[in-house]
Amino acid sequence: MVAKKNLCVLILAAGKGTRMKSPLPKPLHPVCGLPIIAHILQAAQALNPAAIGLVVGHEAQKMEEAVKEGLPQWGVTAPLVFVEQTDLSGSGSAVKAALPLLKRFEDVMVLNGDTPLVEAQTLEQMYSAFQDNEAGAMLLAVSVPEPSGYGRVVRAGDGTFEKIVEHSDADEKTLLIHEINSGMYIFKFAHLDKALQALTPQGPKHEYYLTDTLSYIKSQKHPVLVYGSEDYEQALGVNSKFQLSQAELIMRGRVARRLMDEGVTIPNPQAVFIDAQAQIGADSFICPGCYICGKTVIGKNCMLEGNVFIKDSTIGDNVILKMGTYIEDSSVEEECQLGPYAHLRPQSVLKKGAKVGNFSEIKKSVIGEGSKVNHLSYIGDTEMGACVNVGAGTITCNYDGKNKHKTVIGDHVFIGSNVNFVAPVTVENYAKIGAGSTITKLVPQESLAIARSRQVVLEKKGIKHD
């Protein structure tokens, strides 16, 4: 897409968000695995503007630090300029604070920092309509079932834009209007600049309303147009934890629908939790109760049974994840099988065809191709070769109280049940370890190691039994 050299997108994210009842700035609350502001930045970047401005105010430093840290993870690479609003007296003041940035551009798109559901396609269509109609200003309006709390779009007798009336200032007749202002606009900067200078304080809080600029621009005989969208959900703002949950529900529905359109089977979309950045291959089957979080990538033809949790991990094709499996920051190659109730902790790798079974835990280890850790085992800081059989209850004792140590297990090793490996220790190819052994030294290739106390039976004497 060709860069829009004359366009700057300005995102207003300076408010306190008092109804969230949280010290965390409102734009940083997560929706579908990403902060609210990340979704808006992604939509803005999709327009390919010359620059994006982000107005911060409440907890400005925290906001700026969080956004800068998150940009690479969110895939946002567009030029971003932070603007601090020191006078928190309304949306008009917020845009005024950004004038040194905006004056370099011909067109300005203004977005709210609490509308994570807005889609790039809608913004692109709106901008095209703005250009085609040579408007002085344009607002995005939607009709909602419950308009309480939103500014109403008042139209003239011929259906054209007349004004916007904030909910707190509306009379009974205006409150009956269901067409609301989304808080998203496009302006010709020259008209916006003059309109901002003409603003006066309004309402009980004596705020400067950005919406009043539209009436001013119209009074100067410049066209002010309304761009209507049938998808009212895109305009829904997040001002409370309840509205946050509603946005989460809507976005998760979108994600599930997209994945199903791509060939993923999800029998009960309302009962799964799939983050916006997750990718899943065709013919994979996702059962209820699954959490697929972060930048997880799942291959084709995988089966995820109920209550599987995956975060920031890569799952290959034809993998079976049984009930209750938990995977974090790990890699599972094709044709592996995990669970039920297996646990992969960060930096674990399962090679092709490996199996990790009931209540087994893998931590920062490589499980070789075709190897099996099937029952009640802990494998930590281990490099395991191919075709290893690990008996039930095997433990790698990797921590000496101060440092972690490595266990190396070669190819085709057979490990009996209830074996302890006291790291650092190496077991070479084709070795066998007897059940119940505690291994503290090198086990050579093709040898049998048995390290356990000799059984002693002491019979009781002098006791008679009837």
Q: Decide: 31 and 238 in contact? Cβ < 8 Å.
A: yes
What whole-number distance in Å separates Cα of residue 332 and Cα of residue 395? 21
For 389, residues 6+ apart whose C-beta sits below 8 A from its C-beta are 371, 372, 413, 414, 415
Q: Which of 219, 6, 4 is nearest to 103 (CA)?
A: 6
Q: Which residues are catalytic?
A: 375
| DSSP secondary structure string for all residues of 372-439 | EEEES-EEESEEE-SS-EE-TT-EEE-B-SS-B--EEE-TT-EE-SS-EEESSEEE-TT-EE-TT-EE
State the number of CA atoms in the 13 A half-sphere of 296 facing the CB.
Answer: 26
Contacts of 185 (CB under 8 A, 6+ apart): 109, 110, 137, 138, 139, 140, 210, 214
Instruction: Please state, in angstroms and as integers, the Cα–Cα distance from residue 447 to each residue in 314, 372, 414, following that order.
Output: 36, 20, 11
Reading the block at residue 106, the tokens are 């011909």
